[in-house]
Amino acid sequence: MLLALLALPVARRFLEGSMTLHMLVQYPLLMLCGALLASRLPAVCLKPDPAGRSAGNGWNAHGITGLFASAVILAILMIPRVLDLALISPAVEFSKMAALLFCGAALRLSWQAAGWLVQGFFLGQVLPMSVVVGTLYESSPVRVCNAYLLGDQVLLGRLLVWIAAGVALAWLAGLFRSLMRSDAGPIQNVG
């Protein structure tokens, strides 16, 4: 249902009318649609085995392939020329939407199987990339996307940097919480 709404011309015009809405609302919503579609796959494809691999996906051992594909997709879709082309070329728009659906599905199928170490490596690549792109958007004296205003570009740049910092802090908090639980577990069992 959400995917059908996002594909409507009215929704696309609204979300793609602003660089900030395009990248920070439409992209995540399309990725959410991909994750929701992946969650509807048979359970055998979703649950990792004891070795951390998704049972039906030998190609995605420890979630590495899915996370790598997601990182590549996100890197390509952050290129300003791709944003411009998605507005004028139906083929590029369709490819962008399909890539983001795949990205969301890959994240859904890979994240849990990846474990903390692989997740940290993935975020260690994607978040700095987001900060660099955000800094470029924020500090560039000229528009990097022809279709969007400079003020919107600056806002997007600032938000990308803040979102990257927020995601990093949230992930680190989850890691520390998990480590604290694993350290506290044996102590509680002794007493």
Q: What is the pLDDT of residue 189?
A: 38
Angle formed at CA 121 by CA 186 and CA 138, multiple of 5 degrees: 125
Taking Cα atoms as reference points, which of 96, 93, 106 lies closest to residue 39? Answer: 106
What whole-number percentage of the chain has pLDDT above 70?
Answer: 88
pLDDT of residue 9 exceeding 90: no
Average pLDDT over residues 98-114: 94
Q: What is the pLDDT of residue 184?
A: 65
Q: What is the pLDDT of residue 92?
A: 96
Beta bridge partners of 48: 54
Q: What is the pLDDT of residue 46?
A: 55
Q: What is the pLDDT of residue 136?
A: 94
Taking Cα atoms as reference points, which of 126, 76, 67 lies closest to residue 96? Answer: 76
Q: What is the pLDDT of residues 79-103, one digit of tens each?
A: 999 999 999 999 999 999 999 999 9
Average pLDDT over residues 27-47: 84
pLDDT of residue 54 exceeding 60: no
